[in-house]
Chain A
Amino acid sequence: MPSSPISNSSQSWFQRLEPFLMLVPAGLWLFLLLILPTLLIFQLSLVPGIKPGDLVNPSSLENYFKIFEPSVLWIILRSIGISIVTTLLCLILGFPVAYWIALLAPKRWQNLLLLAFVLPLWTSSLLRAYAWISILRPTGVLNTILMTLHLPTLDVMNQLPAVLIGMTYSFLPYMVLILYSSLEKLDRRLLEAAADLGAPPKDVFMNVTVPQALPGIAAGVLLVFINAIGDFINPELLGGPSSMTAARLLYGKFLGASPDWGMGSALSALLIMLVTLAIVCLIKYGDKNARSI
């Protein structure tokens, strides 16, 4: 059907703009609620000792120097350490579960099993932390069971292991969900081909399954790490006297007894940069590995 040159050109003009027009709502949302606040945080972080009502006048890097005091630096390092261990625990525990649900469990049970895994997320994280107190305290549920079985009891409450248990429990569902969606798309013909060609199960897993699941692993690791570094409920309720983390410190700088919004902003700017760096690394290296198969 012949079309007039005018309608044709207007159509192509619209077609060229269409992708941008479709991006406008989400773009505006992202700009107003993500990019703009982040820029404001960076701006605030450059004002030393700002108090509400003060003029925001970026003038020095003093707030950043405060972060490099040994005690604050130590808190940040501890947070990163706790988050890395939590992420690894979630990966080690989550991968077999996700693998089982995606590949081995009967198809009709899959949705129910996933639901069961997400179920704990429906309760408040505060409530879950209190539940762990009841379980882990010296005469709690866990130790009562261990004692009845004449096994040695665990003394982990108000110590680092309790924080790791609470955090791993909190973020495991995220890891399982993401790994599941990645493993579900696994090309099973490749697994069969590898087995047919004589690869032992260990090699099939390392060379065929893992590389295919790598983007999912990267996404899961990232999600858990970011959540873990922002968690302050588990360290506060399950940790001991040295359980101060960057997130707790950050909270205190804004809503604690002696607020320092400038330093709080510097600290959150640093955390934003840290997480951004982690994302950049994962996109760069995670993708390269995925492509090399």
Chain B
Amino acid sequence: MDSELFSPKPRSRRQLLKMATSGAFGLGLSQILSGCGWRLGNVRSGQSNTSSPNELFLYTWAQYVDDELFKDFRDVTGLRTIRELFDSNEKMMAALQAGKGQEFSVLYPSEYFIPKLVKADLLAELDHDRVQGLDNLMPQFRQSMADLDNHYGVPFSWGTTGLIYNREKIPEGIEDWDYLWRNKQKLTRKMTLLDDSREVLGCALKSLNYSVNETNPDRIKKAYEKLITLKPHIASFTTDGWRTQLAAGDLWIAMGYSSDAIGLLKENPKLRYIVPKPGASRWSDWIVIPKSAPNPNAAYQWINYLLKPDVAANVSQRLAVTTPNANAIPLLTQELQRNTVSYPTADVMARCESMTALTDEAEKLYDKYWTQLTS
């Protein structure tokens, strides 16, 4: 009944009224009284008649597509592409569970989020017979912890989480996470950390030489206790609010993603980006096909198109995303190939660890400490 209410199909007014009243009485009153019955966010799989075979519906992050890409794809395949944007994995999943999965044929979740989608039975397995160009990918993305052997999808972009800092204010440069703790008096209210429980606890865990995917309660507690000593010196936990302040010199250091740093460093030569020692998290965003995709054929065409080295190189050059396509990198401009923010050196790569989904217990623990840290 609840998924009926979210159905995208147009209905006549009479039907709506009937549905509304039966919905109201069906899932509202009688079931609140009897205390059982409905399911939260039911997803119906199956073909939907809202999309034509010549259309591909994408659900993606804003920075990963542009009109030129759609035009080129149409020239090659004849398929028209329609996009809808999300700004967090959780919002994307909520939309899927509200029945939107029947519209989209392609999704762009982050790597750590794929196991959650798999667990909720939302993803279709990737048919490797229909995919060409998987061997173009860097080996670490073929053996990803979250999606071994590209069982569910292919990576589209990746990056690291590090520190962006103002070289004029910190001429000596930053090497490791502990720099923040050693210089906390000097840096009081001059630094921000991300508004993200996994990344912030992850950096403290890394600074203690533990894994960013740590599930040992004692170690997570140690990381929390270490962060508590830094908290009075932090200006704010924010994912976006630091940009103008960092550029103006009011903030000296901001924890951020390499994808944010690429553009900022170009605009502002005073800024530097580093992946602190002993290591940091590596994130990646993937292309997957939902189980309820109305047009899986078009989805495979999209994936194959983006796996071509020349297309991947073109897209990553134009949209400033870092490609996991090893054969595309030699096709980039020399300047971009040498850019260590986008393409870190091998030893930096070696100390980055990909972030994966946690167990339910560990997730609760991270959340508990995060609430305590920010309260």
Contacts and interface: CB of A to CB of B under 8 A. Distances in A.
A138 B371 contact: no
B235 A241 contact: yes
Interface string A216-244: 00000000000000000000111111111
B318 interface: no
A31 B40 contact: no
Nearest to A240: B236
A57 B41 contact: no
A39 B28 contact: yes
B189 A158 contact: yes
B76 interface: no
Contacts of A275: none
Interface in A145-181: 157-158
A74 interface: yes
B35 A237 contact: no
B40 A56 contact: yes
Interface string A42-85: 01100000111111111000000000000110110010000000
Given A39-B32, A139-B250, A241-B374, A53 B236 contact: no
A139 B88 contact: no
Nearest to A263: B367
A32 B23 CA distance: 9
A57 B38 CA distance: 8
Contacts of B42: 53
A51 B119 CA distance: 11
A255 B241 contact: no
A138 B169 CA distance: 15
A270 interface: no
Contact of A75 (B28, B32, B375): B375
A166 to B, nearest CB: 12
Interface string B185-222: 00001000001111000000000000000000000000
Contact of A258 (B35, B37, B197): B197
Interface string B8-28: 000000000000100010011
B375 A134 contact: no
Residue among B24, B198, B245 with the highest chain A CB neighbour number at 10 A: B245
A142 B90 CA distance: 38
A151 to B, nearest CB: 19
Contact of B90 (A44, A133, A137, A259): A259
Interface in A104-123: none
A75 B121 CA distance: 35
- Identify the interface centre among B43, B121, B231, B237: most chain A CB within 10 Å of its CB: B237
A133 B41 CA distance: 38
B40 A32 contact: no
B120 A255 contact: no
Interface of A: 28, 31-32, 36, 39-40, 43-44, 50-58, 71-72, 74-75, 78, 130, 133-134, 137-140, 157-158, 236-244, 249, 254-261
10 contacts: A50-B40, A52-B41, A53-B39, A158-B189, A237-B238, A240-B189, A241-B236, A244-B371, A255-B88, A261-B40
**Pairs A-B, 4 closest by C-beta atoms:** A52-B41, A258-B367, A244-B374, A71-B375
